[in-house]
Structure 1
Amino acid sequence: MTAQTKTKKNKSRDTIPANKEASLLFTGSEWDAPLIDKVYNAIEDIAIGEMGLDPYPSQIEVITSEQMLDAYASTGMPLFYHHWSFGKHYAYNESMYRKGFQGLAYEIVINSDPCVCYIMEENSATMQTLVIAHAAFGHSHFFKNNYVFQQWTDASGIIDYLSFAKAYIAKCEDQHGPAAVERMIDAAHALQSHGIHRYPRKRKLSLADEADRERVRREHGEALFNDLWRTVPEGEGKKVSIDDAMEARQREILGLPEENILYFLEKTAPRLAPWQREILRIVRLIAQYFYPQRQTKMMNEGCATYTHHRIMTRLHEKGQISDGQFMEFLHSHSGVVMQPDYNDPRFNGINPYALGFAMCEDIERICTQPTEEDLEWFPDFAGKGNHMQVLKDIWANFRDESFVLQYLSPHLIRKLGLFHIVDDSDEEEIEVAAIHDERGYLKVRRALSRDYDVSRSDPNIQVCDVDLAGDRCLNLTHHVSEGVLLDEDDTWRVLRHLANLWGYPVALKEVDPDGKTIELYQIEPEDPLG
């Protein structure tokens, strides 16, 4: 563990008996680097020794508010390539922070090995204890052990890959000019939410040797592109004759249908230069790296919040933090897990910290003090003790929607006052579709689980065909779910970037579940990037 801090003098002390003061980790609100080490070791004894957590090694970095704002702008990573959008985000967050309209996070944690934890310089000693327990042990354990992160991320390689990406893009700016690179990144960013593989491929994402493979990948890609495009018409509006075998071969190379649009462009866009394909790959791999965090937001925060609550409670029970320090922790913790009512001006949906923490506490209750209802609903672990083993197994093997679907209990549904409400725009009245009975609990579970399924919140858009014998038009299909269409203005903007990357016309049709076309967009490239 490393810590970069400024030495500070204690300005205040808790009023405590002299015989207890010796066991306290600290007695004031100020801290320095040796105290951070002392606190870390005390937390580690509880997290690993008592709770049995298995986190990555930690690297603690102390940062200022300006550095925290900079981390906000660049997705929290310690290094990133340059782009104007990051400066825009920095200016916005700084303005909101200075005017008092928003606060800053107490910490930011990065899924890397070692796990990098940024903690705010302005935090008190109690808050530093809290955020180290939360991030360096709670989040870190979840990152290391959850199956989604194991399938999709390479924690040991991400920092080296970001270093390669930053250097590669800087080199491209020197060779091709900042304006050309900026246009390329603009287009890639517009499509990055459609640059995700949602199902595991043959191998886990590995980043450690991406820089070494770049040359081999480029040579292989150029051979594939030559094979794919050697039969397309050379003049505008011309057609060529392609037999069935050749068409099947070309479709095999294209890998249609393909939902990962950035991947498709990287491999097959006819006009892009090798350096442009590599930029698409950089943006795509970074977007893929963050995809598991979207799938596990509530579970991840629940794990970290439960962990810091357990650790801070044990520190207080062992006399290592005072009553006053524990009250300071509880004040912050209560704010984090507060769930505003639906008619509260602060309501913005279900707080992931509140639900995640409540479900973890509820699972502990079911393991140790079950009711007859719990024994009926959760026979596999109700009343069998060893709640930490149950929780660690859940944290490792589930993501948000499956966690809710299997472990949201009737007791917690009643406690949180959850109901299933159907608000149909075609109806004048709102329907209460599920109440607190046996069938209603199942409906509430299913409805809430669906809300945490990111595959439902992201539009299902696939590359379905390419007119290789005609004008080379790229054809995409949006499979409309529950009648939700794409925003028209955003669609035109994104399609303009897509057409410029493809270099030829692009058509997007929105179809209902019966295959009927609802909307059709067609666009020509204005200024091809290749």
Structure 2
Amino acid sequence: MHDHDHGHGPGDKHHGACPGDPLGNEQLQDYVPRLEAMARDYGLSFYPVDFELVPNQFMMEVAVYGLPVRMPHWSFGVRYIYQYVQHRMGGSKIFEVVFPGDPNRAYLVNDNGLSENTLVTAHVLGHADFSRNNSLFDRMQREVGYHIVEQTADRAHRIQEAIEQHGERRVEAVLDAALSLEQHIDTNKPLHRSRYKQAPAPTDKPVPNPQSFDARFHRLPGEEPAGPARSQQARMRIPPAPEYDLLWFIAHYAPDMADWERDIFLAVREESYYFYPVFACQIMNEGWASYWHARLLREADFLPGRVYLDAIKTHSDVVRPYAGEQSVALQVNPYHLGFRMWERIVDDLGLDAAMRIRSEEDDFGFLRNYLDQDLATELQLFNYARRPGASGEERFIVKDRDLADIRENILSPKFNYGAPRIYVESVGLDASLSLGHDHASDGRGLDLNRARKVLEYIHRVWRRPVRLATVDHAGEERQVELEEN
């Protein structure tokens, strides 16, 4: 999914798709195939794109839920209210939402003008080319399938059936737990994984000497040989190595989960895999789409002058830094940074090289390999620090303009899907769950109150003691524990 200035949406009721209209504007209907033909002439390749015009409110719902139809949950309602307030205050405008697949699904706002929707059409074609040809997108599309919209609609229907059968409160508790862990997947492992291989039973165990201590001990009255379950558990450590895919592990190894509960965890996990490339390639992807909408519109001689000028003004609004004139932006606009990087790459290395980079990299490789000192200086990028002011307010000061730190500060929120690196350490003989925090890798301590809240969610579905070894914001080792009720 790609959306401009997106939030997250309504959730107290089942979210169902509002039927969109095919492109009703005759001029726009004429422009779409001509822009598609231009894009293909330049070498872009993409699956077919189904464009629909939808009302602005429905567009906000789609941007918030992430999909046209998705499982119901209260958190989407909270996000929708935020998005709605931002929109009403003029701080947010959604131009398009597009879902990669075969076909791609693109939604445009029906009360945006012809020039805006013409630009959005060209922008979507850039996204469609990126999602088909980028290696990370391609891998996730193949694993998840190319019909995510239909798949999530089917899951939402199954969850609604679970609500009717088991009650809204029970289903919501499972959704709370699963969605609290939606970032905790391991994209280095395939979506479709088997359970851990069982340790083979020993076949060449030596026969004990009948006069040995062990043999005489086990002949004592009341001594029974260890049962198969206990001896197997003793041989098999669960997990055999730190497991970072918490959704997968809980779905397969929680001792008392019902099948419908496991289905919810696996559904959330599959959707997280689908969204991961959008998160990990945001700067590249939005920059690529912005580069191509600018180039296609510039060379589309069939566009009337007024449509072109209005579209280019919209382009300038999209790819400008967040701050206004004479101001300093503390956040990087991914559209602005990505667009400028792709312009520089095409100018310096050529279009063929740009298409190779588009196929091979994610944001980590893209910034580390192609954000150079000249461009960082031109874009006035810098590293800053927070300092308390004299009256208690927070001040920001420029630390330096070190390029390596600039790159890593932009990328650090993207590490591990933006989540702390939590792993399953072990499951005890009493089925208690021990979690660890690889704080050395993610470089952060945890808010212990928030950590306890997430553990409460996990405890509801694990139904055995749950423990987390972590560090706080000061770097002090901490243990968060929830015992059985």
2:79 maps to which of 80, 83, 89: 89
Alpha-carbon distance, 1:279 to partner = 1.0
1:283 maps to which of 268, 273, 276: 268
1:479 corresponding residue in structure 2 = 438
Distance 1:286 1:5, change over 3 A: closer
2:164 maps to which of 161, 169, 174: 174
Gaps of 5+ in 1: 7-30, 207-216, 228-239, 368-386, 435-439
Name the CA distance, whole Å, in 1 between partners of 2:86 and 2:396: 39
1:123-142 alpha-carbon deviations (Å, 9 max, x no partner): 1111111001101x111111
> In the alignment, residue 280 of structure 2 is paired with which amino acid?
Q
1:234 corresponding residue in structure 2 = none
SS of the counterpart of 1:61? strand
2:377 maps to which of 404, 414, 434: 414
Alpha-carbon distance, 1:342 to partner = 10
1:317-336 equivalences in 2 (<5 Å): 318=301, 320-336=302-318
Distance 1:305 1:267, change over 3 A: same
Name the CA distance, whole Å, in 2 between partners of 1:183 and 1:69: 26
SS of the counterpart of 1:46? helix
2:335 corresponding residue in structure 1 = 353
Name the CA distance, whole Å, in 2 between partners of 1:84 and 1:423: 34
1:359-387 alpha-carbon deviations (Å, 9 max, x no partner): 001112213xxxxxxxxxxxxxxxxxxx2
TM (normalized to structure 2)? 0.80
Name the CA distance, whole Å, in 2 between partners of 1:187 and 1:365: 48
1:324-403 equivalences in 2 (<5 Å): 324-340=306-322, 347-367=329-349, 387-403=350-366
> In the alignment, residue 138 of structure 2 is paired with which amino acid?
Q
Name the CA distance, whole Å, in 2 between partners of 1:501 and 1:63: 39
In angstroms, what is the RMSD of aligned CA positions?
A: 3.3
> In the alignment, residue 304 of structure 2 is paired with which amino acid?
S
> In the alignment, residue 147 of structure 1 is paired with which amino acid?
S
1:65 corresponding residue in structure 2 = 56
Q: Does 1:110 align with 2:129?
A: no
Alpha-carbon distance, 1:341 to partner = 5.8
The question of whether the paired residues in 2 share the 8 Å contact of 1:400 and 1:452 is answered with no
The question of whether the paired residues in 2 share the 8 Å contact of 1:450 and 1:456 is answered with no
Alpha-carbon distance, 1:157 to partner = 3.1
1:41-92 alpha-carbon deviations (Å, 9 max, x no partner): 110121111x1101110101100112112213311x1222222333333344
1:161 corresponding residue in structure 2 = 151
Alpha-carbon distance, 1:390 to partner = 1.4
Q: Does 1:262 align with 2:221?
A: no
1:191 corresponding residue in structure 2 = 181
1:42 corresponding residue in structure 2 = 34
> In the alignment, residue 477 of structure 2 is paired with which amino acid?
I
1:9-48 equivalences in 2 (<5 Å): 32-48=24-40
The question of whether the paired residues in 2 share the 8 Å contact of 1:109 and 1:118 is answered with yes
The question of whether the paired residues in 1 share the 8 Å contact of 2:465 and 2:482 is answered with yes
2:298 corresponding residue in structure 1 = 313
Name the CA distance, whole Å, in 2 between partners of 1:5 and 1:159: 17
Alpha-carbon distance, 1:420 to partner = 4.5
Q: Does 1:491 align with 2:451?
A: yes
Q: Does 1:460 align with 2:421?
A: yes
> In the alignment, residue 492 of structure 1 is paired with which amino acid?
R
SS of the counterpart of 1:508? strand
Distance 1:446 1:244, change over 3 A: farther
Name the CA distance, whole Å, in 2 between partners of 1:395 and 1:165: 32
Alpha-carbon distance, 1:423 to partner = 6.8
2:464 maps to which of 486, 491, 504: 504
SS of the counterpart of 2:183? helix
Name the CA distance, whole Å, in 2 between partners of 1:123 and 1:484: 42
The question of whether the paired residues in 2 share the 8 Å contact of 1:402 and 1:449 is answered with no
2:206 corresponding residue in structure 1 = none
1:154-205 alpha-carbon deviations (Å, 9 max, x no partner): 35231232132112112212221222112211121112122x123143xxx4
The question of whether the paired residues in 2 share the 8 Å contact of 1:4 and 1:33 is answered with no
Name the CA distance, whole Å, in 2 between partners of 1:118 and 1:307: 18
**Identity level (%):** 28
SS of the counterpart of 1:60? strand
TM (normalized to structure 1)? 0.73
Distance 1:243 1:161, change over 3 A: closer
The question of whether the paired residues in 2 share the 8 Å contact of 1:139 and 1:300 is answered with yes
